[in-house]
Amino acid sequence: MKISSAAIARRLSASAFCAVWFITAGMAFAAEDGGGHHADAVAHGGEHGGGPGLPQLDASTFPSQLFWLAVTFAILYLYFSRKALPEISGVIENRRERVQSDLDTAERLRKDAEKAQGDYEVLLSGARTEATSLMSKAVNTVKEKAEMEMAALREKGLEQIAALESQLTADKKKAMSEMDTIVAEAASQAAEKIIGIKADLGTARSVVQSLHRQEAA
Amino acid sequence: MADPLHQFVIEPIVPLNIGGVDVSFTNSSLWMMASIGVSFVLFNTAMRRKALVPGRLQVLVEMFYQMVSDMVKSTIGPEGRRYFPLIFTIFMLVLMGNLLGLIPYSFTYTSHIIVTAALSFMIFLAVVVIGLARHGVHFLSLFAPAGVPVILYPFLVPIEIISYIARPITHSVRLFANMMAGHIMLKVFAGFSVALITTGAVGVAASAVPVLVNAALIAFELLIALLQAYVFAILACIYLKDTVEIAH
């Protein structure tokens, strides 16, 4: 526990005040005693005739005490029951109600906040799933499209390859058939140059073709 | 040494006689009026603002209210609500009498047996009258505790009756004796210091000791004043409980 110096000072001054007050009261009792000394003696000598009885047992004072006690009690009872106590209970009740209503408001606000939080979370998770599904849909669409295009491209490529291959085969055939002629020409020209025989081109081609056949066989 | 009982002497201030009965306004009556005045000032000042967040005086007054209210509720029960103003008045009347009596030169009306007896017999009579009116003959079962063999009744019932009748006596004597004893003690120590002063220089110095003792006694008497007012009120509650329900 931490006590501030101001609090200590306040406590000290309160204690000092009490001490001074009590001591003053103590001295005042002594003064009262000293002052009343003579009157006391006179009173005892005169009134009570030196009787040592308790003043509380002096029955002659009873009616007066009872009367004024009844008056005091009646006044205090009326005052407390009609005014003071209803006022205090009103204030206390008022405070209790106020505190209760504040607590109720706080509770309501807390519930509202919790509900808002719940709504927000539901919304958020909904948005998240929606976003995920949209995303996957988009990805799928793109993928499908890409595959379709890819397939189209492949088909086209294959067609082109096929076209090229047939072209190539045709060219090759053509080139081969021309080759025979070239070979025959070259052979006839070579025969003419080497041995001086002017070979017939048609004969040369048939020779080449027969060679071809031999080779193929 | 001065008579320590002199402080209890009733002295008429305004002689008054109604129908041959002496009802003079005395020093006792004066301090009863003072207790009314202090109560008025205290409660009116404290409740002037009726603040939601109370100030010091309002806290004090509300503390008295809560204390007596809790006392009534816990000892009598929810039906004790109707006795609350009565108990509160008794508490404040006794408390004011005890506290105002601690002012030097004042008079302590609660140090008189007739005052405390009047209050306690008022409670006693109220209990008997309300109890008989509400419970009829069943109220008398207070004197015959349940679960006791009938053969013991000749012994037990008189004892119960005596202890029941002793209630207002102990109730009033407790407060009266506490107040009287405390004030006599204060007076005796005050008398010591006065007597010491008359014995010379050493006596004057020594007279400080009884004054210091008195200072401590006054602090103690403040506690007693509060405590006895509380005890008087709670006993009144306990006795009034018999009018609400009878345990056996």
Segment B49-73, tens digit of pLDDT: 888 888 899 999 999 999 999 999 9
Closest listed residue to residue B235, CA positions, set B61, B107, B76, B100: B76
- pLDDT at site A51: 47
Beta-sheet pairing, B21-22 with B17-18? antiparallel
User: Residue B146's pLDDT band (boundaries 50, 70, 90)?
Assistant: confident
Give residue-wise pLDDT tens across range B174-208.
999 999 999 999 999 988 888 888 888 888 888 88
Judge contact between A77 and B89, C-beta under 8 A.
Answer: yes
Q: What is the pLDDT of residue B27?
A: 93
Percent of chain A with pLDDT over 90: 50
Lowest-confidence pick of A63-67, A82-86, B137-141 = B137-141
Position with higher pLDDT, A128 vs A53: A128
Q: Is residue A138 very low, low, confident or very high in pLDDT (cuts 50, 70, 90)? A: very high
Any bridge partners for residue B17, and if so which?
Answer: B22
Whether B84 sits inside 8 A of A85 (CB atoms) is yes
* A51-70 mean pLDDT: 86
A100 touches chain B (CB under 8 A): no
Distance (Å, whole) CA B236 – CA B228:
12
- A196 shares contact with chain B (CB less than 8 Å): no
- pLDDT above 70: residue B245: yes
Q: What is the pLDDT of residue B225?
A: 96
pLDDT digits (tens, 9 = 90+) for A31-44: 776 554 444 443 44
Closest CA to B174 of B100, B106, B88, B236: B236
Task: Report whether A42 contacts B6 (CB < 8 A).
Answer: no
Residues in chain A within 8 Å Cβ distance of B43: 79-80, 83-84, 87
What are B4-16's pLDDT values in tens digits?
888 899 989 999 8
Q: Average pLDDT in the B134-141 region? A: 85
pLDDT at A157 over 70: yes
ipTM of the complex: 0.91
Tell me the residues of chain A between 118 and 147 that have a Cβ less than 8 Å away from chain B. none
Q: In whole angstroms, what is the distance from residue B10 CA to residue A57 CA?
A: 11
List CB contacts (< 8 A) between A10 and chain B.
none
Query: Is residue A74 over pLDDT 70?
Result: yes
Residue for token pair 């007050």? A21
Is A51 strand, coil or helix?
coil
Task: Tell which wins on pLDDT, B119 or B55.
Answer: B119
Q: Which amino acid is at A91?
A: V
Cross-chain residue pair A64–B23, CB shorter than 8 Å? yes
Does residue B121 register a pLDDT over 90?
yes
For residue A45, what are the CA distances in angstroms to A41, A50, A52, B41, B75? 6, 6, 11, 41, 50
3 state SS of B26: strand
Categorize the per-residue pLDDT at A123 as very low, low, confident or very high, splitting at 50, 70 and 90. Answer: very high
Distance CA A71, CA A81 (A): 15
Alpha helices in chain A (DSSP H): 5-46, 62-79, 85-195, 201-216
**3-class DSSP state of B236:** helix
From residue B233, give the alpha-carbon distance in Å to each of B90, B116, B128, B170, B236. Answer: 7, 12, 18, 13, 5
Q: At residue A28, does pLDDT exceed 80? A: no
pLDDT at B167: 92
pLDDT for res B247? 58
Q: What local confidence, expressed as pLDDT, does residue B2 receive? A: 67
Q: Where are the alpha helices (DSSP H) in B47-83?
A: 56-75
Instruction: Note the Cα B152 to chain centre separation in Å.
Output: 37
Contacts for A38 with CB less than 8 Å, ≥ 6 apart? none
Yes or no: say if B27 and B103 are a contact pair by the CB < 8 Å rule.
Answer: no
Instruction: State how far the Cα of A34 lies from the Cα of B202, in Å rounded to an integer.
Output: 19
Using 50, 70 and 90 to split pLDDT, how confident is the model at A172?
Answer: confident
Mutation to test the B interface, candidates A38, A69, A87, A101, most B Cβ within 10 Å: A69
- The encoded tokens of residue A44 equal 């005892």
Q: pLDDT value at position B72?
A: 95
Environment class of B165 (CB within 10 Å of its CB; exposed 0-12, middle 13-18, buried 19+): exposed
Residue-wise pLDDT tens digits, A10-19:
888 887 777 7
Angle (CA) B121-B126-B127 rounded to 5° is: 100
Other beta carbons within 10 angstroms of residue B8's beta carbon come to 22
Q: What is the pLDDT of residue B34?
A: 96
More confident residue, B2 or A104: A104
C-alpha span between B23 and A67 (Å, rounded):
6
Cβ contact B182:B97 at 8 Å:
no
Residues of chain A numbered 21-60 and touching chain B (CB < 8 Å): 22-23, 25-34, 36-37, 40, 43-44, 54-58, 60
Counting residues of chain B whose pLDDT is more than 70, the rounded percentage is 98
CA distance A119 to A125: 10
Rounded average pLDDT over A149-174? 92
- How far, in Å, are A88, B171, B183, B223 from residue A48 at the CA level? 48, 30, 21, 34
- B17 φ, ψ to 5°? -135, 115
Mean pLDDT, range A47-51, rounded to an integer: 43
Name which residue leads in pLDDT, A144 or B151.
A144
CA triple A160-A164-A167, angle to 5 deg: 140
Angle at B36 between CA B32 and CA B38, to 5 degrees: 110
Element (H, E) at B186: helix B153-197
Q: What is the pLDDT of residues B209-238, one digit of tens each?
A: 989 999 999 999 999 999 999 999 999 999
Strand partners, B12: B26
Nearest to B64 by CA among B94, B37, B34: B94
